[in-house]
Amino acid sequence: MSEDFNELVKELSDLYDPDSMDTFVTLYLHRESNNKFIERRVKACKTVLKNEELKNFIATIDKISTIIKKNIGKNIAVFASDKHNYFRYTNLPVKVENLLIVDSSPYLRPLARILDEWESFTLVLVNSNYAKIFSVSLGKIESTKSLSADIMNKHKKGGWSQARFNRLRKGAINEFLSELVEALQKRADDHIIIAGPGQAKKQLRDMLPKNLQERLVQLVDIDIDDEKELLKESITLISEDEKQRSHDAVQRLKEEILKDGLAAYGVEETLKAVKNGQVELLIIEKNLRIAGWICENCQVVNTGNKKNCPYCSKKTSEVDVLEEILEFAERTDAKIEFTDDEEISNLGHVGAILRFK
């Protein structure tokens, strides 16, 4: 599912209509909503829109209504435009703020935040003769793989036969864990949690190649049969890990700024860098919008308010500047980190680690 989300965000970031300010309708709706929110927003938009834009909006909303009826009781995001015959929707794993936005491109930030805060991870439940691999995406298990081995029980005889038996058993466990490592190399996500009773999880950790060890978040001591509790604990661990990575990203940005390194900060610098394809990691403040304008003809974006573009004199659109920066970042395959670290606010609410200067 997360791969689908990533592909959807990438697809949406490439969509915009240079000929119209009000083409795409974006709807985020949580499952407890009633019709009043949509009715209020539709009425407000109809009051403002005119001519072809109004016709497109009415036709788009009609089709969105059909999608909503099929997804009652679900958190949902819809991205649609009758003019472009574009209708995509996805169910969301978490409750979102209700939003209905009409713009020249889809509104991505809530979807991008879900991807950042609910990253996929691989969960391995293992003991000395049994393992189960879970692929957890957006808080739900998507797929599993089970492995088992016929490992001999502990030998009770002493002497030479005891030592020989222990070597054989140790070799069988090692072979089983090697098979598990091979399976992980084929399917592991960016983050891995290894769990289970006893020493097998530590043995597995020590056998992981460097590229997998770098993705390891934590070892969890838990009963082999307690899968539900493990999933709950793992989601908490991943959430805590995400908060730490968010904090670390801001600290890395500060270090780059202090040494005049690969960093940009503030709206103007970051916008310029992201449009030039320089951004490796975009760091953006959560829950903040910065009012600005865009000229769809020139693709110039800036803060403040201008009715006409100072470069080509064409009419501009009102935008959230941080949303525009986010869209440019998605188009250039930059990584995105949302943060509520107060230090990003002091740096102008947005910053970036650069690929090059």
What pLDDT digit, counting tens, does each position of 15-47 carry? 887 777 778 999 999 988 777 899 999 999 999
Q: If you search the block for the tokens 């991205």, which residue do you land on?
A: 79
Say yes or no: 106 and 135 in one domain: no
d(C-alpha 288, C-alpha 313), whole Å: 29
User: Contact at 8 Å (CB) between 321 and 292?
Assistant: yes
* 111 and 1 within one domain: yes
Token duo for residue 51? 């001519």
pLDDT tens digit sequence for 168-199? 667 778 888 888 888 888 877 778 999 888 88
Burial state string for 18-34 with b = 16 or more CB within 10 A and e = fewer than 16: eebbbbbbbbbbeeebe
Number of domains the chain contains: 3
- pLDDT, greater one: 149 or 234: 234
Do 126 and 217 lie in one domain? The reply is yes
Task: Please check the confidence at residue 200 and state whether its pLDDT lies above 50.
Answer: yes
Among 55, 86, 116, the domain boundary falls at: 116
Q: What is the pTM of this model?
A: 0.74
* CATH number of domain containing 198: 3.30.420.60
- State both tokens at 295: 């000229």
pLDDT at 149: 61
Note whether residue 234 is domain-resident.
Answer: no
Mutual orientation of helices 321-331 and 2-13 as an angle, nearest 10°? 110
Q: Residue 352 above 70 pLDDT? A: yes
Element (H, E) at 148: strand 140-148
| Total residue length of the chain | 357
45: which DSSP letter? Answer: H
Calpha distance 118→92 (Å, rounded): 11
Burial class (CB in 10 A: 0-12, 13-18, 19+), 307: exposed
Same domain, 133 and 161: yes
Residue 131 belongs to some domain of the structure? yes
What pLDDT score does 173 carry?
81
Show the DSSP H helices in 132-199 as ranges: 159-187
| Shared domain check, 127 and 85 | no
Q: Which residues, listed in sequence order, are joined to residue 145 by a DSSP beta bridge?
A: 133
Burial of 73 (0-12, 13-18, 19+ CB in 10 A): exposed
Is 198 inside any structural domain? Answer: yes
Name which of 36-40, 71-75, 157-161, 289-293 the model is least confident about: 157-161
Say if residue 160 is in the same domain as residue 197.
yes
Q: Do the domain assignments include residue 231?
A: no
Choose among 201, 160, 2: nearest CA to 92.
2
**Do 251 and 345 belong together in one domain?**
yes
**What CATH number does the domain containing 313 carry?**
3.30.1330.30
Q: Which of 87-91, 133-137, 161-165 has the highest mean pLDDT?
A: 87-91
Which of 116, 136, 168 terminates a domain? The answer is 116
Highest-scoring range by mean pLDDT, 61-65, 115-119, 230-234: 61-65
Look at residues 246, 274, 263 and name the one whose alpha carbon lies nearest to residue 113: 246
> Is residue 142 scored above 60 in pLDDT?
yes
Q: In percent, how much of the chain has pLDDT > 70? A: 90
Confidence of residue 77 (pLDDT cuts 50, 70, 90): very high
Q: Residue 119 has which token pair?
A: 């990253």
Confidence of residue 1 (pLDDT cuts 50, 70, 90): very low
Is pLDDT of 2 > 50? no
Express as a percent the part of the chain with pLDDT over 90: 38
- Taking all residues of the chain, what is their mean pLDDT, rounded to a whole number? 85
- Indicate the DSSP class of residue 314: P
What average pLDDT does the segment 54-82 reach? 93
Report the CATH number at residue 67: 3.30.960.10
Whether residue 139 sits in one domain with residue 92: no
Q: Helix (H, G, I), strand (E, B), or coil: what is residue 105?
A: coil
| 237 located within any domain | no
Q: List pLDDT tens digits, range 221-260.
A: 888 777 777 777 887 888 888 888 899 999 999 999 999 9
Q: In one letter, which amino acid is 310?
A: P
Considering 173, 195, 225, which residue would you say is the last residue of a domain?
225
Q: Which two tokens mark 110? A: 């809530």
9 and 33 in a single domain? The answer is yes
104 and 186 co-located in one domain: no
Expressed as residue numbers, the domain containing 135 is 119-225
pLDDT band at 154 (very low <50, low <70, confident <90, very high): low
* Pairing of the two strands 192-196 and 216-221: parallel
C-beta of residue 67 within 8 angstroms of C-beta of residue 51: no
CB-side neighbour CA atoms (13 Å) of 338: 19
Q: In this structure, is residue 323 part of a structural domain?
A: yes
Note whether residue 238 is domain-resident: no
Query: d(Cα 121, Cα 137) in Å, to the nearest integer?
Result: 7
**Higher pLDDT among residues 163 and 18, named by residue:** 18
Helix (H, G, I), strand (E, B) or coil at 57: helix
Instruction: Take residue 49 and report the two structure tokens written for it.
Output: 């829109």
Residue at 165 is within a domain: yes
User: Do 72 and 87 have their domain in common?
Assistant: yes
Between residues 153 and 199, which one has the greater pLDDT?
A: 199
| Same domain for 143 and 50 | no
Distance CA 306, CA 103 (A): 17
Distance of alpha carbon 61 from alpha carbon 178, whole angstroms: 54
